[in-house]
């Protein structure tokens, strides 16, 4: 039985680290692709990863390439291509350049892997996944954005640091757009089954939420020459695993919502069941009045971002 084929478009830090995590977990054979202008860089990274396999004990085959033909027949395609944020740059500043890049990627994948499930990681995420849906013409359940898994991981990390407990004991959920308008769900956050509201006072919890919202910017500021990649790649790998192993994971992802939550045809972060069919179901939660108000603000921000993208000469 052949292994699943996982293609990762963009061999920069996020793409290469996703290849690393996927190979280590033996999720399938991996194709790492980047543009011809970077030369043999994808081949070098792929070969380096392959030479780690005897030490780490994985049998995934990793190919580096500049040719989309090598991605043909992929089960999952991860799109990380695009320019990364620099200090002082918002995700929105990336809009024009990255919309053109991911649109081009979607065209190529449509031709080579028409049955693939696409995971979009490029920023600004909520607009980029909408762009990929439009250009690819794929069913919306086969186009999903990675955001909520990463945001929730950051939230859980900060909660564990605050309480001095294992991250494994923290369950949490964040909804909405990726970034400043994400919506925390204290009602869906617990530590070993104990509601977080019983362990952290509201003021301190709000401070942790704010740090989560600016989690990416904090890392950009510290690195000074790049953006986060270990955690984004790990989050993406969790989504890949859910799909190739049909794990039916309940994960917060950027999914296409129409009637769901009254969104009206946009990608926003919501809890979904992720499996071999892609987004197999969107889970609708009963929101409190304040949660609903915050979620509506997030939806409005996503709509404005998409409108700005659609006004560009792409």
Same structural domain, 108 and 161: no
| Mean pLDDT of the chain, nearest integer | 94
Q: Compute, in degrees rounded to 10, the torsion defined by CA atoms 14, 274, 65, 232.
A: 0
pLDDT band of 87, cuts 50, 70, 90: low
Same structural domain, 285 and 174: yes
Q: Picking from 82-91, 201-210, 272-281, which range would have the lowest pLDDT averaged per residue?
A: 82-91
Same structural domain, 88 and 192: no
Final residue in a domain of this structure, among 112, 145, 178: 145
The whole-number average pLDDT for the span 121-127 is 93
Q: Picking from 55-64, 78-87, 241-250, 273-282, which range would have the lowest pLDDT averaged per residue?
A: 78-87
- From 28, 178, 183, 266, active-site residue: 178
- pLDDT of 89: 66
Preceding amide of 124 cis, omega within 30: yes
Same structural domain, 126 and 271: no
Report how far residue 300's alpha carbon sits from residue 297's, in angstroms, rounded to the nearest whole number: 5
- pLDDT of 184: 84
Same structural domain, 167 and 301: yes
Distances (CA, A) of 90 to 80, 86, 123: 17, 8, 10
Same structural domain, 141 and 155: no
- pLDDT of 226: 84
pLDDT tens profile 240-283: 999 999 999 999 999 999 999 999 999 999 999 999 999 999 99
pLDDT of 88 higher than 80: no
Are 208 and 155 in contact, with CB atoms under 8 Å apart?
Answer: yes
The whole-number average pLDDT for the span 2-31 is 97
pLDDT of 92 higher than 90: no
pLDDT of 12 higher than 90: yes
CATH number of the domain to which 294 belongs? 3.90.110.10
Same structural domain, 115 and 197: no
- Better-predicted residue by pLDDT, 92 or 210: 210
Same structural domain, 163 and 240: yes
Same structural domain, 21 and 42: yes
Total of domains in the chain: 2
Same structural domain, 169 and 277: yes
Q: Where are the beta strands (DSSP E) in the chain?
A: 5-9, 29-33, 62-65, 76-79, 117-120, 143-145, 170-171, 174-175, 183-184, 190-191, 194-195, 249-257, 266-275, 278-282
The whole-number average pLDDT for the span 93-113 is 94
- pLDDT of 177: 86
- pLDDT of 2: 86
Are 180 and 214 in contact, with CB atoms under 8 Å apart?
Answer: yes
Same structural domain, 189 and 91: no
- Residue 282, domain extent: 148-310
Final residue in a domain of this structure, among 145, 179, 203: 145
- DSSP output for 61-89: -EEEES-GGGGTT-SEEEE--SPPP-TT-
- pLDDT of 46: 98
User: In the beta sheet, which residues pair with residue 256?
Assistant: 267
Residue 33, classified by CB atoms within 10 Å of its CB into exposed (0-12), middle (13-18) or buried (19+), is: buried
Told to judge if 178 belongs to the known catalytic residues of this protein, a careful annotator would answer: yes
Final residue in a domain of this structure, among 126, 145, 164: 145
């Amino acid at each position: 039985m052949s292994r699943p084929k996982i293609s990762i478009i963009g061999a920069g830090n996020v793409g290469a680290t996703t290849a690393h995590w996927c190979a280590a977990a033996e999720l399938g054979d991996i194709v790492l692709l980047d543009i011809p202008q970077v030369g043999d860089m994808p081949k070098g990274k792929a070969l380096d990863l392959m030479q780690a396999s005897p030490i780490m004990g994985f049998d995934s085959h990793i190919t580096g390439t500049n040719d989309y033909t090598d991605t043909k027949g992929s089960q999952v395609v991860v799109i990380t291509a695009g320019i990364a944020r620099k200090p002082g740059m918002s995700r929105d500043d990336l809009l024009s350049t990255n919309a053109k890049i991911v649109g081009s990627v979607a065209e190529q994948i449509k031709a080579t892997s028409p049955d693939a499930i696409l995971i979009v990681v490029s920023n600004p995420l909520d607009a980029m996944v909408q762009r990929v849906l439009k250009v690819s013409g794929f069913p919306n359940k086969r186009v999903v954005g990675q955001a909520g898994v990463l945001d929730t991981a950051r939230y859980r990390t900060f909660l564990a640091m605050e309480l001095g407990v294992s991250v494994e004991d923290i369950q949490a959920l964040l909804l909405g757009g990726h970034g400043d308008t994400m919506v925390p769900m204290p009602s869906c956050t617990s530590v070993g089954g104990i509601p977080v509201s019983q362990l952290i006072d509201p003021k301190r919890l709000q401070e942790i939420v704010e740090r989560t919202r600016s989690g990416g910017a904090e890392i950009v500021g510290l690195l000074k020459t790049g953006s986060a990649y270990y955690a984004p790649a790990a989050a993406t790998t969790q989504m890949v695993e859910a799909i190739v192993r049909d794990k039916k994971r309940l994960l917060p992802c950027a999914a296409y919502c129409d009637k769901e939550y009254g969104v009206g045809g946009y990608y926003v972060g919501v809890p979904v069941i992720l499996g071999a069919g892609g987004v197999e179901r969107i889970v609708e939660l009963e929101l409190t009045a304040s949660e609903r108000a915050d979620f509506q603000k997030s939806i409005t921000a996503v709509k404005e971002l998409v409108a700005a993208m659609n006004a560009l000469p792409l």
